[in-house]
Chains A and B, each alone.
Chain A
Amino acid sequence: MAGELLDYISSLAVTGVVFISAVLVIPSMNYVSLLQVDQQQLRNVAEQVFKTMLLEPGYPVDWGSTDPFDQNSVNRIGFADENSTLYVLDSDKVQRLVANNPIGSIEYDRVRELLGLEGYGFSLSIVPPFDVAVENEEFEVAPSRVDLELDVTVLNVKGGPIPNAVVETTIIYSTKKGDNARLYVIVEKSLTDRLGVCEVEKHTDAPSEEQFSDVIVVFRVSVANVSSLFAVYQRVPSNDIAEINYVGDNIVLTVPEVTPRGARWVDNIIDFDWESFISMYNGTRSNDDKLTYGEGYKVWSHTFRGLKHGAPSLLIMGFWAVDAGEGRRCILIAGPNPNLFGSRVLQYGDPDGAKGARCVMKLQRDVVISGMTYLAEIIVWKELS
Chain B
Amino acid sequence: MRTEKSRGKGRKGQMRIIEALLASFLILFAIAFVNLFALTPTSQTYEASELEKVGFNVLHDLDEQSLLERYIQYREWANFTAALTVSLPTDVYFNLTVYDLNWRVVNTAAPISYGTAQVFSSSFVASVVYIVPGYQGVYSPKILVLQLVRG
Contacts and interface: CB of A to CB of B under 8 A. Distances in A.
Contacts, number: 121
Contacts of B17: 7, 10-11, 14
Name the interface size band of chain A: 35 or more
Contact of A129 (B21, B53, B64, B87): B87
A157 interface: yes
A157 B90 contact: yes
Interface in A209-242: 223-227
Interface of B: 6, 9-10, 13-14, 16-17, 20-21, 24, 27-28, 31-32, 35, 38, 40-43, 46, 50, 53-54, 57-58, 60-62, 64-65, 67, 70-71, 76, 78-80, 82-83, 85-87, 89-90
Interface of A: 1, 3-4, 7-8, 10-11, 14-15, 18-19, 22, 25-26, 29-30, 32-33, 36-37, 39-40, 43, 47, 85-88, 129-130, 156-158, 162, 164, 223-227, 363-368, 371, 373
B13 A8 contact: yes
Contacts of A85: 60, 64
A10 B87 CA distance: 66
Contact of B85 (A29, A32, A87, A156): A156
A226 B64 CA distance: 11
Contacts of B28: 22, 25-26
Chain A CB count within 10 A is highest, among B6, B24, B54, B78, for: B24
A269 B86 CA distance: 33
Contacts of A7: 10, 13-14, 16-17
A364 B79 CA distance: 22
Given A85-B60, A373-B65, 13 more contacts: A8-B13, A11-B17, A14-B20, A14-B21, A18-B24, A36-B41, A47-B50, A86-B57, A226-B62, A226-B65, A226-B67, A226-B86, A363-B50
A224 B76 CA distance: 9
A349 B83 CA distance: 30
Chain A CB count within 10 A is highest, among B10, B14, B80, B85, for: B85
